[in-house]
Amino acid sequence: MSKVVRFHRVGGPEVLQIEDIDVPAPGAGEVQIKVKALGINRAEVMYRSGQYVIEPSFPAMLGYEAAGVVAAVGDGVTGFASGDRVGIIPAFSFADYGMYGEVVNAPVSAVVKTPDNVSFEEAAATWMAFTTAYGALINLGGLKAGETVVIGAATSSVGMAAIQIANFVKATPVALTRSLAKKDPLLRGGAAHVFVGDDAGLRQQLLDVTDGKGVNMVFDPVGGPHARSLLQALGHDGTFFQYGALDARDIPLPVMDILGKHLTVRGYELFEITTSPHRLEEAKTFITQGLSTGELRPTIDRTFSFDQIAEAHRYMEAGNQVGKIVVTI
């Protein structure tokens, strides 16, 4: 028997229940993991509350991200053995797998070995954030040394990961936040500049820090009317990645900027990377290298115990964290 978090109806954090269930042996192509820590993600809050891209089938499990020790492997699995320290990458559907449990099964494609210098808590906080940021900035955007990237909602775990990745490749990260009250944590996290995302003078601020040339890339989960300033601040051949809709209003597109500067405006989601075997392996290699050298390391805001899973979700919903929320088992 294993303690697993499930829910039987959509609703607030109170619908989450810790239940004892029999976890089957890993099937072909699966790895069974004794979980030591798990990461909390916005997608899980949305799924629990009935606002995600798929509808839950009850009783529903959830959880994209975890870290622990391999307990067993299924048929056809190579490269992993009992006792290996591993992390889980969001490369599956909640309809098939959920990582909120003491013992879980995961598809081998979503499993990656954890470097010795990385704790279970850090491993559980790594793969959603860093793979999301890596996919846009590096795999699709080709961010290079000397270029400038603007990172929206930068105090999120993805935002903090994007700052580190930009510095890792010697680019310049510019962080946006709702309030300058979070300026110091962003500067400590590696941001070169910090601005308020809805400031009326944002376009000019971005032009000023690039000597009038404009930024090379925008990585934004917010959207809405204020995104116009970000598009106007892009330089020639600049790219705008929209990877969320915290402001669900339409983005007003400045047509003359798009035409005159040959801009690319693109929607992006994590699963573009994690459902492509080639891209996923490249992401694993890039991020593992950064973890091994210590140049990449997740920012953990707060840690909860497993029996505080509902409190962890409430804390996520409050939206005041800087970095990742982790639950230990």
191 shares its domain with 151: yes
More confident residue, 238 or 244: 238
Query: Which pLDDT score, from 0 to 100, does residue 8 have?
Result: 97
36 shares its domain with 163: no
pLDDT per position as a tens digit, 86-126: 999 999 999 999 999 999 999 999 999 999 999 999 999 99
Examine residue 288 and state whether it is found in any structural domain, yes or no. no
Examine residue 287 and state whether it is found in any structural domain, yes or no. no
116 shares its domain with 139: no
114 shares its domain with 142: no
66 shares its domain with 117: yes
**Last residue within a domain, chosen from 232, 254, 271:** 271
**Last residue within a domain, chosen from 254, 271, 288:** 271
119 shares its domain with 10: yes
Examine residue 153 and state whether it is found in any structural domain, yes or no. yes
Examine residue 310 and state whether it is found in any structural domain, yes or no. yes
Range of the domain at 21: 2-126+298-328
Query: Which pLDDT score, from 0 to 100, does residue 31 have?
Result: 98
170 shares its domain with 305: no
Q: To the nearest 10°, the Cα dihedral for 97, 77, 134, 316?
A: 30
The number of domains in the chain is 2
167 to 144, 190, 234: CA distances (angstroms): 10, 7, 19
215-220 and 234-242 strand pairing: parallel
121 shares its domain with 246: no
Query: Which pLDDT score, from 0 to 100, does residue 278 have?
Result: 96
Query: Which pLDDT score, from 0 to 100, does residue 237 have?
Result: 97
Measure the CA–CA gap between 117 and 159, rounded to whole angstroms.
23
169 shares its domain with 248: yes
Check which CATH number belongs to the domain holding 323 and give it: 3.90.180.10
Quote the mean pLDDT of the chain.
95
Check which CATH number belongs to the domain holding 220 and give it: 3.40.50.720
171 to 84, 150, 176, 177: CA distances (angstroms): 34, 11, 16, 19
- Whether residue 179 has pLDDT greater than 90: no
89 shares its domain with 161: no
114 shares its domain with 156: no
Residue range 15-29: mean pLDDT, rounded: 96
209 to 80, 128, 150, 194, 204: CA distances (angstroms): 47, 30, 11, 11, 9
